[in-house]
Structure 1
Amino acid sequence: MAKYLIPALALAATFGAHAAPAKQPAQAKLILVMAVDGLPQEQVTRYASQFGQGGFRRLLEQGAWFSNAHQAHGITVTAVGHAAILSGAYPYQHGIIGNNWVNPAGGSMYCTEDQNYKYIGNEKTDPHDGTAPTNLRVDTLGDQLRYATGQQSKVITVSGKDRGAILLGGKTGTAYMYMEESGNFASSTFYMKEHPQWVQKYQAGKPQERYYGVKWKPLLPDAAYAGDYGDAPNVQLSSESGTTDAAYYKRLKASPFLDELTAEFAEAAIDGENLGKNPAGVPDLLGVSFSAHDLANHEYGPESKYSHDHLMRLDRILSNFFSYVDKRIGMDNVLVVLTADHGFPNTPEFSSEVQKTGAQRVDGKKMLDDLNAHLSSKFGLAKGVMAYSLPNLYLDYAQIEAKGLKREDVENAAARFLMSQPGMADVYTRTQMESGAVGGTRIATLMRRAWNRQLSGDLMVVLKPHWIFGFGSGKGTTHGAPYAYDTNVPLIVMGKPWIKPGHYGQYAEVVDIAPTLAYLLNVRPPAGAEGRVLTEALK
């Protein structure tokens, strides 16, 4: 018998078989948690008829699909969403308030940076690169699984983005991420001194080289994209140097082939780490974050042919990946979760012209310059807003107090000015957040969850629906709002022995994933988890 057993098995071993409920389903051998970066729920519904048999369709038909599931916090970006998936916590607790934020000690902070650690091998590591989960203030389901099994369970995560892998992996897992300079997947010295043999073997094969000169063209016939906007995909992966170099690897990252490589590396991890066949007889956890859909939506919008085609390609990637897992472990031994870190709005131009919303782009820098000019005129402040990382603005409280001004007076004056600007829906102040006086609306609740007392700004702004901050040429779109197009994401749980298939309309949140998995695994939920167990979907 294994030295370490999760609690239900340990009780049965200690007190005899009669102590356990009748016909307990077999313990899952692998927990497979997948996140699709930037996938709004509406795209799953809109394109469902075009999915093949083995990918999304398999999940929708054999899994419990919660179509009214939400990333239920107000700043819907990649890092915040990934931190929620396996911690079950909101940003006010888990401390990941954005992809970047203003460091209270000065300068900027990237969500997964820790300058004590470097990428392994000959990979370039910049000061703000993601190398460790240091900024994550809570534990995760993977951490609890490893604790319950005496560190015998393996927790491996892989993503095209460092934050996608690191924040899924928690404090005690092992994360691997795509390197833009080399096209490799690599880990950091936070996790180990050097890569295991299977990673070295994978890197030696140089699978990233095979896409040089390959064209991203539509997968389906032209008629399949009839309702979409813009041009069809027509991108050749190459570089000005005529060879595989950093420019090529960055272009590869923005293509659907990044997700193909991610799945391939995940398969190598299953084989190399013997996941799902743990000799200790305990479950393992594999987290896979597919990053490329986010990049397609940013560049072209979710209404585009590019986004549509990418989702079709991801569907085929998932089908092949599931086939591999089925042959290696058997899907009836695998508990599968698929969700997303955030959704996506349409481009403001599409929203305004087609949906008649009147949406526009807001020049955030000009807005802040105008606000500083207003605070200077009203209070004599040299630069009232000393730093910003939208939607957070940081006031110079030292200067405010030196002039004998009240913080609340400056906050309120700034909020009133911002509310007079085009596209502004609401502004929350530090005083409101600290006192709890933010109102009882759903938007206010989401913004309160997104605000961390130690890290967040002194003003938090919310644009009107469909409006976005845009500093560039007016192309593409971005996410981060508390509205349904950014919060409503797919949440699907599949596993024949444990899950009742079906389409569920009940409200659910991504923070429900960790408590539900903890319940099925009979382990303690993560400390910050606030979600519920999705009992309606359990056998």
Structure 2
Amino acid sequence: MKRIGTILIATLLLGVVGAVAETAVPRPKMVVCLVVDQMRWDYLYRFYDRYGEGGFKRLLNEGFNCDQTLISYAPTITGCGHASIFTGATPAVHGIVGNDWPDFEKGYSVNCVGDENVSPVGTESKSGKASPRNLLTTTVGDELKIATNFRSKVIGISIKDRAAILPAGHTADAAFWFDKSSNSFITSTYYMNQLPEWVKSFNSRGIPQKYLSQGWETLYPIDSYTQSTPDDMPYESRFANEKRPVFPHQLIDTVTGFDVGISNTPFGNGLLLTFAKEAIDAYQLGRGGDTDLLTVSLSSPDAIGHRFGPNSIEIEDNYLRLDKDLEDFFSYLDKTIGKDQYLFFITADHGASQSPGYLAANKLPFGYMNEKYMLDSIQTVIRSEYGIDSVVIAATNQQLYLNNKAIAERGVSKDEIADRITELLMESPGITDAFVTKKLGSATLAEPIKTMMINGFHLKRGGDIVFSVQSGWKWGSISGASHSHWNAYDAHIPLIWMGWGVRPGKTNRLVHNTDIASTLASLLHIQMPSGNVGSVIYELTDLE
């Protein structure tokens, strides 16, 4: 009788287990999110004929391409982009209004991930004093953690601290970024008190120096780079140890020991993807019973673009090399996690403008502004008319922050001062619009520019005046590239999904970078992040 009862209980338990298995929420083993810093949308097509079949072409052929993906706010800056992609919110909601912003209570500029309450791990450098605490909303990784009762693992990796920390969110198991002073990956006590052994081992192998010691020559014969300008152009910046910005680039000075830094070369991509593979193995991502999430942000394309510009041979070579790096990474994921067992997407935090020098050489609208000269001119006029010194105490993220104390001491209306400064801004070459931020809602400004400015402004962290610049204009010099504006060259970014739950195809419907988190949450059957304002890109899947 006892035996019959045991068999009956076992049978019932098997039935329960089977029922649970049949009703389990369908999810991939792993989600891999790749952000390519400063990747313009047109790089997918400018270099298409030179890409192999296993990298960008695989994404375009096997994935779902959201070809008209735009950023829904300005300024288009790294910190804002990484936060918006993974929160589904704009800076007005998630609070990351730039890479940094003034904090007048603290009396200094705040790094978007800076945190004086944590300590560096793996370095003595202050670059380790970082956490996601300035992010005001949850991320999709946070919501995945909550949905699985924190069984899912979430890891963030990048060269830049903000690009590792913000995507991974508040509840991440770890975030690792690269410390230039020690040429190693580090973290902070927000995540752990000491580096894992696998990270220590990785750092001990001296991989960055091995990359740099080989120098940087073009992957293919230099005369085959027909999608780029000639190698030696006056609007390209050079490395500090060079006389001219030309190939081959010597990355380490054998006499002085100076090196240009791995992040300024395409080898930074290879370094980061190698580190990502070791993280997958170390944390056994995609090998457990719950979906894991890995965010990887490639910072090197941004550094290369800023220095040489988007029409340089250096940029073309970067993407040809990245294409091969992606092919290798996909091959690894196919073998380790299983093809179609992981969900992958690639996007960018922002694009980039052409160098003013390139635009000038090709008879296109261009210009560049000296920020110091413009601000000094404003200060001079306000001092003369109102007797106020240093009326503008900060200018960042296309916003001006006014000196409230000095204005109050003179007994002058702040509104009057702000209105006068907007008038002066509009007299400055290259400025197309300038508005007092509290009047932005009623501003006579064309859409979608008006909405983008509103979306980029946070009431407690934003400035008193916001402005935009003329198409093709850039702060600073005539060389290199920049970004931060509402224009398509900065706001039009790639977005391709591939793998689990994704049907091959394409949409030309307008989508926004804030739709990424919504879509990912829908695919994973989890709650959208707490500040989410995006919509689901429903075309990319046949899943119910």
TM-score normalised to the size of structure 2? 0.90
State whether structure 2 residue 110 is matched by structure 1 residue 109.
Answer: yes
Match of 2:11 in 1: none
Task: Look up the equivalent residue of 2:483 and give its one-letter code.
Answer: H
State whether structure 2 residue 369 is matched by structure 1 residue 366.
Answer: no
Q: Distance in 1 between matches of 2:339 and 2:183?
A: 30
Match of 1:529 in 2: 532
State whether structure 2 residue 251 is matched by structure 1 residue 237.
Answer: yes
Deviates further, 96-105 or 379-388: 379-388
Superimposed CA distance per residue, residues 30-60 of structure 1 (whole angstroms, 9 cap, x where no aligned partner): 0000000000101112111211111111111
Match of 2:510 in 1: 507
Specify which of 438, 451, 470 is matched with residue 464 of structure 1: 470
Q: Distance in 2 between matches of 1:441 and 1:530?
A: 18
Give 3-state SS (helix, strand or coil) of 2:213's partner: coil
State whether structure 2 residue 428 is matched by structure 1 residue 418.
Answer: no
Match of 1:273 in 2: 283
Alpha-carbon spacing, 1:233–1:421, altered in 2? closer, same or farther (3 Å): same
Q: Distance in 2 between matches of 1:56 and 1:355?
A: 32
Task: Look up the equivalent residue of 1:402 and give its one-letter code.
Answer: E
Q: Distance in 2 between matches of 1:120 and 1:348?
A: 41
Deviates further, 336-345 or 382-391: 382-391
Match of 1:389 in 2: 396
How far 1:456 sits from its partner (Å)? 0.9
Give 3-state SS (helix, strand or coil) of 2:514's partner: helix
Match of 1:348 in 2: 356
Q: Distance in 2 between matches of 1:499 and 1:25?
A: 17
Specify which of 298, 308, 313 is matched with residue 305 of structure 1: 313
Deviates further, 360-369 or 250-259: 250-259
Task: Look up the equivalent residue of 2:112 and give its one-letter code.
Answer: C
Give 3-state SS (helix, strand or coil) of 2:120's partner: coil
Task: Look up the equivalent residue of 1:275 and give its one-letter code.
Answer: L
State whether structure 2 residue 405 is matched by structure 1 residue 398.
Answer: yes
- 2:308 and 2:314 in contact (8 A); partners too: yes
Match of 1:75 in 2: 75
How far 1:95 sits from its partner (Å)? 0.8
Q: Distance in 2 between matches of 1:18 and 1:25?
A: 9
Superimposed CA distance per residue, residues 52-90 of structure 1 (whole angstroms, 9 cap, x where no aligned partner): 111111111111111110122111111111111111110
Q: Distance in 2 between matches of 1:241 and 1:91?
A: 46
Alpha-carbon spacing, 1:157–1:241, altered in 2? closer, same or farther (3 Å): farther
Alpha-carbon spacing, 1:500–1:382, altered in 2? closer, same or farther (3 Å): same
Q: Distance in 2 between matches of 1:72 and 1:393?
A: 21
Give 3-state SS (helix, strand or coil) of 2:33's partner: strand
Give 3-state SS (helix, strand or coil) of 2:181's partner: coil
Specify which of 296, 310, 326 is matched with residue 288 of structure 1: 296
Match of 1:8 in 2: none
Task: Look up the equivalent residue of 2:467 and give its one-letter code.
Answer: V
How far 1:481 sits from its partner (Å)? 0.6
Match of 1:3 in 2: none
Deviates further, 207-216 or 477-486: 207-216
Give 3-state SS (helix, strand or coil) of 1:79's partner: helix
Superimposed CA distance per residue, residues 451-494 of structure 1 (whole angstroms, 9 cap, x where no aligned partner): 11101111112110110111x5x321211111100000000111
Specify which of 481, 485, 489 is matched with residue 489 of structure 2: 485
> Following superposition of structure 1 onto structure 2, how do residues 207-286 of structure 1 map, counting pairs within 5 Å?
207-231=207-231, 233-239=247-253, 241=255, 247-248=258-259, 250-278=260-288, 281-286=289-294
Q: Which runs of 5+ in 1 are unaligned?
A: 1-11
Give 3-state SS (helix, strand or coil) of 1:187's partner: strand
Q: Distance in 1 between matches of 2:378 and 2:447?
A: 26
Give 3-state SS (helix, strand or coil) of 1:372's partner: helix
User: What percentage of aligned pairs have identical amino acids?
Assistant: 33
Give 3-state SS (helix, strand or coil) of 2:124's partner: coil
- 1:130 and 1:162 in contact (8 A); partners too: no
Give 3-state SS (helix, strand or coil) of 2:493's partner: coil
How far 1:189 sits from its partner (Å)? 1.1
Q: Distance in 2 between matches of 1:90 and 1:532?
A: 13
Match of 1:166 in 2: 165
Give 3-state SS (helix, strand or coil) of 1:309's partner: helix
- 2:304 and 2:315 in contact (8 A); partners too: yes
Q: Distance in 1 between matches of 2:466 and 2:527?
A: 34
Structure (1 or 2) with the larger CA radius of gyration = 2
Q: Distance in 1 between matches of 2:70 and 2:189?
A: 34
State whether structure 2 residue 519 is matched by structure 1 residue 520.
Answer: no
Give 3-state SS (helix, strand or coil) of 1:351's partner: helix
Q: Distance in 2 between matches of 1:206 and 1:18?
A: 46
Q: Distance in 1 between matches of 2:21 and 2:176?
A: 43
Superposed CA RMSD in Å reads 2.1
Alpha-carbon spacing, 1:107–1:15, altered in 2? closer, same or farther (3 Å): same
Task: Look up the equivalent residue of 1:311 and give its one-letter code.
Answer: Y
Q: Which runs of 5+ in 2 are unaligned?
A: 1-14, 232-245
Alpha-carbon spacing, 1:519–1:348, altered in 2? closer, same or farther (3 Å): same
Q: Distance in 1 between matches of 2:187 and 2:101?
A: 24
Alpha-carbon spacing, 1:327–1:421, altered in 2? closer, same or farther (3 Å): same
> Following superposition of structure 1 onto structure 2, how do residues 90-169 of structure 1 map, counting pairs within 5 Å?
90-105=90-105, 106-121=107-122, 123-126=123-126, 131-169=130-168
Q: Distance in 2 between matches of 1:424 and 1:437?
A: 16
Specify which of 442, 448, 452 is matched with residue 446 of structure 1: 452
Deviates further, 94-103 or 204-213: 204-213
Q: Distance in 1 between matches of 2:253 and 2:421?
A: 47
Superimposed CA distance per residue, residues 91-118 of structure 1 (whole angstroms, 9 cap, x where no aligned partner): 0111111112111221111111111222
Q: Distance in 2 between matches of 1:486 and 1:120?
A: 35
- 1:165 and 1:289 in contact (8 A); partners too: yes
Superimposed CA distance per residue, residues 203-223 of structure 1 (whole angstroms, 9 cap, x where no aligned partner): 233322322421211112334
Task: Look up the equivalent residue of 1:297 and give its one-letter code.
Answer: G
Superimposed CA distance per residue, residues 123-153 of structure 1 (whole angstroms, 9 cap, x where no aligned partner): 1322x76511111111100001011111110
How far 1:423 sits from its partner (Å)? 0.5
Alpha-carbon spacing, 1:406–1:14, altered in 2? closer, same or farther (3 Å): farther
State whether structure 2 residue 498 is matched by structure 1 residue 494.
Answer: yes
Q: How many residues align?
A: 512
How far 1:443 sits from its partner (Å)? 1.0
Match of 2:345 in 1: 337
Match of 1:27 in 2: 27
Give 3-state SS (helix, strand or coil) of 2:27's partner: coil
Give 3-state SS (helix, strand or coil) of 2:121's partner: coil
Q: Distance in 2 between matches of 1:200 and 1:484?
A: 42
Give 3-state SS (helix, strand or coil) of 2:295's partner: strand
